[in-house]
A = this chain, B = another copy of it.
Amino acid sequence: MKKKNLSIKEIAKLSNVSVATVSRVINNRSGFSAETREKVLKVINETGYEANNIAKSLRMSRSHSIGIIVPDIGNFFFADIVQKIEELLFERSYATIICNTARSSSKEKAYLKMLESKMIDGLIVISGAEQFELGNINSDFPLICIDRMPKNPESTIFISSNHYQGAFEATELLLSKNCKNLCIALHRKTSSASRERLKGFKDALKKNSIQYNEKNNFLYLPAEKTDNKVSVIKKYLKSNPDIDGIFAVNDNIALVLLDILPQLGKNIPEDIKLIGFDNTSGAYYCKPKLSSVKQNTSKLAQRTVDSLLDIINGKREQVDKYQLESVQLVLRESTD
């Protein structure tokens, strides 16, 4: 349907509800079912009537709650950014509903559906393993993706650390410390963030005219806690005894290496220099203290909240669709 200058009365007629109900829906008062709301919104969307203003009022003070889909709150980076987002949203009178999906796509679907039923004003989706489907959520629903894109991006705002830059700089740091035989340590199942980190590693080698191949320069660690990481690392070292620099795509992997490598006769940093990613608290308390790439979670959280509230307040056109935040190397003993 084309945009028309319909009155509330006409919208009420098309929706088969009373004028009072349309008004209640638009002004976010209670007294109507979720179905009624959907019905009225459908008519408003389809007729496009004063879409901006109505959409704006619909989004103002509707529920003052925002949903966050997070793959793993036990992960330092995720917990950190979620807490910072919650804090900023609360300052701006929004409550945050956190949903932990344990990286399961079926859970993700269930939680998207649940959040939809809870009448949230906006949604933040934080990095998981792969792309995700928005389900029934309208493409113009206020949505910010951190580190990760939905299957049909359309008007989605994407905010991320510059993982590529971090990996590139971490790799060049190892080279500058006279490491000759580098490898990247990662899991087989990767996220978009770790793909970017892998790309940064490869490009830094290329730039320095270093050939690489999967066999020698890739140390794939099992992701499961129960798997025997020691034997995997042992096997890798047997084929690659000269390895002297490792870029681990995250601190968790780096900490495993920091624990196991000395058991196999490789001391850090004397024999192998090691750098991680995320600058977790573990990186500070381990021995030797771990060098790492630090994401600026404060700025990422600020960008996310500012952008989301701009969209909610009808200022979508002001928001950059693709926002990259710089990262920073934090050098400690493991690369000395």
Q: Is A322 an interface position by the 8 A CB rule?
A: no
In whole Å, how far is A170's beta carbon from the nearest beta carbon of chain B?
A: 20
Interface string of A97-129 (1 = CB under 8 A from B): 111101000010011001001100000000000
Q: How far is the CA of A86 from the CA of B118 in the complex (A)?
A: 18
Number of residues in A with C-beta < 8 Å to the partner? Answer: 42
Q: Is A96 an interface position by the 8 A CB rule?
A: yes
A63 interface neighbour in B73, B117, B285, Cβ under 8 Å: B117
Residue of B nearest to A259 (CB): B285
Q: How far is the CA of A98 from the CA of B98 in the complex (A)?
A: 5
Interface string of A54-73 (1 = CB under 8 A from B): 00000000011100000011
Chain B binder among A4-12, A75-83, A149-157: A75-83
Q: How far is the CA of A1 from the CA of B189 in the complex (A)?
A: 62
Whether A98 and B110, one on each chain, are in contact in the complex, defined by CB atoms closer than 8 angstroms, is no
Q: How far is the CA of A34 from the CA of B286 in the complex (A)?
A: 52
Whether A74 and B65, one on each chain, are in contact in the complex, defined by CB atoms closer than 8 angstroms, is no
Within 8 A of B (CB), among A273-287: 281-282, 284-287
Q: Is A265 an interface position by the 8 A CB rule?
A: no
CB neighbours (8 Å) of A65 from chain B are: 114, 118
Whether B83 and A100, one on each chain, are in contact in the complex, defined by CB atoms closer than 8 angstroms, is yes
Whether A82 and B90, one on each chain, are in contact in the complex, defined by CB atoms closer than 8 angstroms, is no
Q: How far is the CA of A107 from the CA of B86 in the complex (A)?
A: 10
Q: Is A35 an interface position by the 8 A CB rule?
A: yes
Whether B35 and A33, one on each chain, are in contact in the complex, defined by CB atoms closer than 8 angstroms, is no
In whole Å, how far is A2's beta carbon from the nearest beta carbon of chain B?
A: 32
Q: Report 8 cross-chain contacts, Cβ distance below 8 Å, ordered by A residue.
A: A65-B118, A73-B73, A74-B79, A74-B80, A74-B83, A255-B281, A255-B285, A286-B287
Q: Is A32 an interface position by the 8 A CB rule?
A: yes
In whole Å, how far is A267's beta carbon from the nearest beta carbon of chain B?
A: 13
Q: Is A95 an interface position by the 8 A CB rule?
A: yes
Q: State the copy count for this chain.
A: 2
Whether B30 and A30, one on each chain, are in contact in the complex, defined by CB atoms closer than 8 angstroms, is no
Interface string of A30-58 (1 = CB under 8 A from B): 11111100000000000000000000000
Residue of B nearest to A36 (CB): B31
CB neighbours (8 Å) of A111 from chain B are: 95
Residue of B nearest to A37 (CB): B30
Q: How far is the CA of A279 from the CA of B266 in the complex (A)?
A: 27
Q: Is A25 an interface position by the 8 A CB rule?
A: no
Q: Is A130 an interface position by the 8 A CB rule?
A: no
In whole Å, how far is A269's beta carbon from the nearest beta carbon of chain B?
A: 14
Q: Is A258 an interface position by the 8 A CB rule?
A: yes
Whether A90 and B73, one on each chain, are in contact in the complex, defined by CB atoms closer than 8 angstroms, is no
Q: Is A169 an interface position by the 8 A CB rule?
A: no
Q: Is A87 an interface position by the 8 A CB rule?
A: yes
CB neighbours (8 Å) of A90 from chain B are: 107, 110
Closest 3 CB pairs of A and B: A287-B287, A98-B98, A30-B33
In whole Å, how far is A290's beta carbon from the nearest beta carbon of chain B?
A: 9
Whether A96 and B86, one on each chain, are in contact in the complex, defined by CB atoms closer than 8 angstroms, is no
In whole Å, how far is A197's beta carbon from the nearest beta carbon of chain B?
A: 21
Q: How far is the CA of A184 from the CA of B259 in the complex (A)?
A: 29
